[in-house]
Structure formats: structure tokens, C-alpha cells
Amino acid sequence: MKFSGVIPILVTPFSEDESVDTHSIRTMIQLMQDIGVQGITILGVLGEANRLSDHERELIISSAIEAAGRLPVIVGTSASGTRAVINNNDIAKKLGASAVMVTPQAETVPSDKKVFTHFQTILKETDLPVVLQDHPASTGVHMANELIFKMLDELRGFCGVKLEAVPTAPKLNALKTRYGEKISVMTGLGALYGAFDLEAGSNGFNTGFAFPEVLIALTDMARKNDWDTLQEIYQRFLPLIVYEQHPGVAIRKELLKMRGAIRSSRVRSPGAQGTETIQKTLRKLIKHAVPNQDLTKPIKI
């Protein structure tokens, strides 16, 4: 599993009755393949994983892997218990996943030792490569650089770090300074700090922005050291990136529906749904960023 380039985090599409829409899983992944991403991630925070039954998780994983073909699939397997994560990892492997993504879990009394032991046990009993996700906003766990260094130094099985702890660029720079290309570090948070992270050495994007073409272009410009063009692209799409970062997944689902990737923008209850105001704002932002383009096909940057 090469954890670099652009690996979008996908939503979980639901029908209007909130049942899993496997047809939309296929059409969404087909669009990602047409765009030319390096892999996909499912059942992350964006995938409403905490609102799914075990049966639904397996249905989503199997449907995504079948649709992806040779495209690598990373499965989010985080859970509040270590044994539950290991069980989720076993299921992901059985169904054909390429890697898993795991976050630390908050405890009543914060403990670096417990975080370390959590991952130590998971890595001992998991055959798949593991992405270490550092996302305090959803986990409530703030991992200091020293803890991440200790885990990367002493544990085997990590294929990369997904960094979403703000400010992202200094932490990312610290990781790349210590490990260089020995460890891949990718950017999340909807690419909100994408330009800064790429300058700090990010290996790409593992996030859910609904226009992965933009993230591919930014990554390409960073590889070419063309920072002026990178800034032009980043600033052109920044209003859309910022708006998409509103809490919840309704805006991102509305965008993916506009792109023909999913049939319904339904968010599973009790999540907030999209509104006519959101749709109107998105149309205005899209008209400014990508005028006169067919959104159902890969856009030209």
C-alpha cells in the first residue's frame, strides 16, 4: 500500500429511506477512477461509520472493493475498544482491503501509555498495513510529536500518518524532518491547509474534498516546485474548500450529488441535511471556481 498522492475519503451514500445505496457506491468510485486517484478510503469520520450496523459495514466494504477493482481501498476501522479494532481489521482483510486507518481513543484520564499499548496490540494482531490517523477534533486525543515518534520508532506495521492536528504544517514538518521519505504523511481536513502542508513536505491528500482533481493539481505543482501556480489554484478553490468544511457531511454530499456521483444527499439521522440555501451557495461557488464545465466528468483545472 503506497500511502501518497491523492486518496479521497468517500461518503457513505444512503437512499432517501436511509438504507445503504450500493449503486451510488459504484458510481462514486467510478468517478474517482476516471479522475485518476491513487486509492480510496471508506468508513472514515466522513463515512458516518458510527451510524452503521456491522452488517452494513461489511456490505459497504465488499461493494466498494468490488467496484474499485485494482484501485487500493483503505478501510476505517477505529473503535473504542482495542479488540473491536482488531476484529474490524480482520473483516477488512477478509473482504480484500489494502490497508486500514485507525485513530487513538480518548480515555477519562489521558494516557500516552494507553495510546501506545492500543496501537502496539493492534499492530501485533493485524496483517494489513495501518494508517495512523491524528485527528483530535473527532477523537479528543492530542498526540504529541514525541508519542508519534515513539510509535513509529518502536512499532512495525504503519504505512503512513494522516495528519489532521492543527496547526498541521509545523507537526508535518517535524515528522518529515525526522523521517524524510521513510514515512509518508498525508494531509486531511478537507485540504483546508493544503498549500501550507505541501510546502512542509506533505506526500499528498487523504481527505474528502469533492473535487480530487484540484488536489491532484496541487500535488503535481508541489512536485514540480511550482509554488506560484500552486497558490493560484489553491486560492481559486479556497472559498469552496472553506464552505465544504462546515460541520457534518451534508455539504459534501450535496456536491457529490451535483457531480452525479451519488443519487441522494441524504445524511443518516440525526445528522443535519442539506438545504436550499446550501445548494444555492454551492452553485455560486462552483460557477466562480469551475464555470461552464460538466461536473459529472473530471474537471479541467
Residue-wise pLDDT for 252-277, tens only, equals 999 999 999 999 999 999 999 999 99
d(CA 172, CA 99): 22
Note whether 219 and 204 are within 8 A (CB).
Answer: yes
Residue 294 maps to a domain:
no
Beta-carbon contacts of residue 137 (< 8 Å; ≥ 6 apart): 164
Rounded mean pLDDT, 131-147: 96
Dump pLDDT digits (tens) for 189-238. 999 999 999 999 999 999 999 999 999 999 999 999 999 999 999 999 99
The residue with greater pLDDT, 247 or 172, is: 172
Into how many domains does the chain fold? 1
81 pLDDT band, cuts 50/70/90, is very high
Dump pLDDT digits (tens) for 166-190. 999 999 999 999 999 999 999 999 9
Residue 254 maps to a domain:
no
Residue 285 maps to a domain:
no
In 3D space, the residue among 7, 29, 43 whose CA is nearest the CA of residue 203 turns out to be 7
Does 110 have pLDDT greater than 90?
no
Percent of all residues in the chain with a pLDDT value above 70, rounded to a whole number = 100
d(CA 81, CA 60): 22
Whose grid coordinates read 466528468? Answer: 297
Give the CATH number for residue 209. 3.20.20.70
Residue 17 maps to a domain:
yes
Residue 214 maps to a domain:
yes
Residue 193 maps to a domain:
yes
Q: Quick one: three-class SS letters along 104-168?
A: CCCCCCCCHHHHHHHHHHHHHCCCCCEEEEECHHHHCCCCCHHHHHHHHHHCCCEEEEEECCCCH
Residue 202 maps to a domain:
yes
Does 1 have pLDDT greater than 80?
no
Dump pLDDT digits (tens) for 41-69. 999 888 999 999 999 999 999 999 999 99
DSSP assigned state of 265: -
Structural domain boundaries, residue 217: 5-230
* pLDDT for res 287: 95
Residue 39 maps to a domain:
yes
